[in-house]
Amino acid sequence: MARTDAVMPDHAALLEAPAPSLARTLMWGFARVFSIVALIAAWEGLARSGQFTPFVLPSLSSVIERIWTDAISGDLAINTGLTVYRALVGFFISMVVGILIGVAMSRNVIANWFFDPIVSVGFPMPKIAFLPVVILWLGVYDVAKITIIVIDAIFPVIAATLIAIRGVERELIWSARNLGANDRELMWQIVLPAAAPQILTGLQVALPLSMIVAVVAEMLMGGYGLGGAMMTASRFADSRGVFAGIVEIAIVGYVLIKAMSVLRRRLLIWHQEAQEPTTT
């Protein structure tokens, strides 16, 4: 009987264990968004304090009202859709071509000899400098905007792929060779899965770059899109429109980055970084 009494408190402790865990989760969740909440509160407070005119700093509530008006009129959907379309098309082209070039450089001496100087020179330079050339050659429409996105976003993908494949453990390759794997099997079943985490890291760098360059290209080339809408609002001294564009770009960028993080976890479900840490 005494033994049963000794066991019961342990069961009670197990039943009560999730409560502190839930409280800790909520606390950390609030801590992660605290800086954003503080920034929003400071923005609204400063805008309503009278220290700034509505032209210099419109209130967040008026900016949200402007975003809602754009959503009702359909302008928000058109501009956001075009910007995301250009960014994603440029990103996917950069992903496919960049991975192919990185694989070729890692496996072929001639490809490495040809592309290595281009990557070494092109990676650190600001690729937006090519924008005037792109405009001269391709005009100011979607092809030109997507081209400048590809020029900017492809270099992180090439570098990440090259470094990842060269960093695959030699023991894995030797073991696969000893088991009779041919070149195709070695690449698809050993090298690429082992290099996938670093390649995806390169893609996570390329995606926000694609979004940034898409907005900048729209600002400089004009036309529809979030960047073009911001420049139009600026020309007409529409302060609320400019700040509305900033908020819209921030939200779209956040959604894209979070989507990429979820995709990374899905693709690397087998990898140790996707495993939940265990506690004792």
Q: Which pLDDT tens digits describe the chain residue by residue (280 residues)?
A: 444 444 444 544 444 444 457 777 777 766 777 788 888 888 888 888 888 888 888 988 899 999 999 999 999 999 999 999 999 999 999 999 999 999 999 888 999 999 999 999 988 888 888 999 999 999 888 999 999 999 999 999 999 999 998 887 777 777 777 777 777 777 777 888 888 889 999 999 999 999 999 999 999 988 889 999 999 999 998 999 999 999 999 999 999 999 998 888 888 887 666 554 444 4
My answer on whether 31 and 128 are in the same domain is: no
Looking at the structure, tell me whether residues 150 and 192 fall in a common domain: yes
109 and 64: one domain? Answer: yes
**Domain count across the chain:** 2
- Are 8 and 128 in a shared domain? no
* C-beta of residue 261 within 8 angstroms of C-beta of residue 201: no
Q: Judge contact between 200 and 61, C-beta under 8 A.
A: no
> Per the domain annotation, does 280 fall within a domain?
no
User: Which tokens sit at 210?
Assistant: 């694609």
Residues 6 or more apart in contact with residue 22 via CB below 8 angstroms: none
Is residue 125 included in any domain, yes or no?
A: yes
Residues 18, 100: one domain?
no
Residues 92 and 179 in one domain: yes
226 belongs to a structural domain: yes
Given this model, what pLDDT does residue 43 score? 85
Token digits of residue 65? 């009202």
Given this model, what pLDDT does residue 266 score?
87
Number of H helices, E strands in the chain: 12, 0
- Name the region of 169 (left: φ>0; alpha: ψ -120 to 50; beta: rest): beta
Does 55 map to a domain?
Answer: no
Note whether 143 and 269 are same-domain residues: yes
Q: Of 78, 211, 151, nearest to 143 (Cα)?
A: 151
Q: Is 185 among the domain residues?
A: yes
**Does one domain contain both 157 and 225?**
yes
* Residue pLDDT, tens place only, 122-169: 888 888 889 999 999 998 889 999 999 999 999 999 999 999 988 877
CB burial of 88-108 (b: ≥16 within 10 Å; e: otherwise) equals bbbbebbbeebbebbbbbbee
User: Do residues 144 and 263 share a domain?
Assistant: yes
In a domain, 53, yes or no: no
Tell me, what's the pLDDT at 257?
Answer: 92
Give me the domain span that covers residue 32.
Answer: 2-48
Domain-located, residue 54: no
Helix axes 18-48, 60-73, angle to 10 degrees: 90
b/e per residue 121-142 (b: at least 16 CB within 10 A): ebeeeebbebbeebbeeeeeeb
- Is 156 inside any structural domain? yes
Contact in structure between 164 and 204 (CB atoms under 8 Å): no
Question: Are residues 173 and 64 located together in one domain of the fold?
Answer: yes
175 and 40 share one domain: no
Domain identity same for 266 and 130: yes
CATH number of domain containing 145: 1.10.3720.10
pTM to 2 decimal places: 0.82
Distance CA 186, CA 189 (A): 6
